[in-house]
Amino acid sequence: MGLTLTQKILSAKVGREVKPGELIEVDVDVVLGNDVTAPVAIKEFEKIGIDRVFDNTKIALVPDHFVPNKDIKSAEQVNIMRKFAKKHGIVNFFEVGQMGIEHALLPEKGLVLPGDVVIGADSHTCTYGALTCFSTGVGSTDMAAAMATGKAWFKVPEAIKFVLKGNLQKWVSGKDVILYIIGKIGVDGALYKSMEFTGNIKALSIDDRFTIANMAIEAGAKNGIFDFDEITDAYVKGRAKREYKVFERDEDAEYSEVYEINLDEIRPQVAFPHLPENTRNIDEVGKVKIDQVVIGSCTNGRISDMEIAYRILKGKKVHPDVRLLIFPATQEIYLECVKRGYIEEFIKAGAAVSTPTCGPCLGGHMGILAKGERALATTNRNFVGRMGHPESEVYLSSPAVAAASAIAGYIVSPEEVE
């Protein structure tokens, strides 16, 4: 029996064929931590009693959750990272001014590449599977061990194959595709499995793929991963900082389940509180009044997301009862928005535009919800209290639906404000 794409990558790292359920130890290509998880890992690393990291070029430290620092505690967290980076000569430490939201920044910098094994002390590390690598989230203790040894252990996952057919309709994006899939299989539908995407992936931009892989964890998956094609190649070429290897799945690979996803049939989706699986077609939503809209995050803060928001907001005004917050995911994306005139139009429309930060997504900074408030966000989670008060509500959508709804004052399809 052949190997899935994930199994191919892991087998190459081990030097032999691996099987689902097998426990393996592999060399990692990138170890990632942020300002929530890295300080814990650094403290554990120091307990090991060694005086250097395994490779100062393969560790990335990105303070992005509570930055610019919101209080003394968050400032101390980043200071731990700063001192550790200086002590060990960490090449890829990105401070305010250079930083971005980690899962947008690392691909942009060419630090995560096809065929890699990437671990990060953040659950959405699975984002990088869009580039045909195995990437997954781990705990801070595993991060500490990897910084010391360059190794991590996994149980080899089974895989689910998603065969994409057709093409996306107007105003439908990768966010709608993954919300549709999660609504179909549930938040535990891919528990500790690899979600492997094949078929007509050419219908999806690289940004769409990042969004889909990013939310694989919301279906319980170990990782999400896409086939390599010319779209992948165009993205990594010119960014890659080192050599990489492209892997392909075997035609006779074994999957626990196979789903056919007809992109033609997908309408814009909205996930209702309090789980990403509570999805509804935009035509079934009704007039849900909202208080705040957030466009950004590691899920939907890329330049194509900003472009969609710009197209909808240009020449219009945000509803007077709505606060619209826009967060370009990296400094490069922010600068491109400035060059294209997006920022000016966002501000004219009545939006507040922020430097890159994860803050509002986790209810930590820059957009906390009060009791009883509702937010529509392009983020990835809508758990109880996710963005603030436990009696607030979070709805998830694409940037198109979010921008349109900011204008209307309630959740609407983009067609209604064109």
Same domain for 183 and 291? no
Instruction: Supply the pLDDT for residue 52.
Output: 95
Domain boundaries, position 14: 5-261
pLDDT surpassing 80 at residue 111: yes
Same domain for 125 and 150? yes
CB 413 within 8 A of CB 283: yes
Note the Cα 196 to chain centre separation in Å.
16
Tokens linked to 150:
């360059």
Same domain for 158 and 52? yes
Same domain for 298 and 356? yes
pLDDT class for 282, splitting at 50, 70, 90? very high
Instruction: Supply the pLDDT for residue 1.
Output: 73
Same domain for 235 and 345? no
Instruction: Supply the pLDDT for residue 99.
Output: 86
pLDDT tens-digit profile of 79-95? 999 999 999 999 999 99
Q: In whole angstroms, give the CA distance from residue 14 to residue 250.
A: 18
Same domain for 289 and 173? no
pLDDT class for 360, splitting at 50, 70, 90? confident
pLDDT tens-digit profile of 154-185? 999 999 999 999 999 999 999 999 999 999 99
Instruction: Supply the pLDDT for residue 75.
Output: 95
Same domain for 32 and 158? yes
Same domain for 154 and 197? yes
Same domain for 157 and 213? yes
Instruction: Supply the pLDDT for residue 91.
Output: 96
* Mean pLDDT score, 281-297: 95
Q: What is the CATH number of the domain that holds 150?
A: 3.30.499.10
- Cβ-in-10-Å burial (0-12, 13-18, 19+) of 268 comes to buried
Handedness of CA 99, 102, 104, 107 (dihedral sign): positive
Number of other CB atoms surrounding residue 275 within 10 Å: 18
Q: Of 261, 291, 309, which one is at a domain's C-terminal end? A: 261
> What domain count does the chain have?
2
Same domain for 16 and 135? yes
Same domain for 280 and 253? no
Instruction: Supply the pLDDT for residue 210.
Output: 98
Instruction: Supply the pLDDT for residue 361.
Output: 85
- Cβ-in-10-Å burial (0-12, 13-18, 19+) of 369 comes to buried
For residue 103, which of 209, 232, 246 has the smallest C-alpha distance? 209
- Strands 393-396 vs 279-281: parallel, antiparallel or unpaired: unpaired
Q: In whole angstroms, give the CA distance from residue 377 to residue 357.
A: 14
Q: Of 229, 261, 293, which one is at a domain's C-terminal end? A: 261
Same domain for 253 and 283? no
Write the Ramachandran bin of 255: left for phi over 0, alpha for psi from -120 to 50, otherwise beta. Answer: beta
CB 219 within 8 A of CB 190: yes
pLDDT tens-digit profile of 298-353? 999 999 999 999 999 999 999 999 999 999 999 999 999 999 999 999 999 999 99
Q: Of 261, 295, 325, which one is at a domain's C-terminal end? A: 261
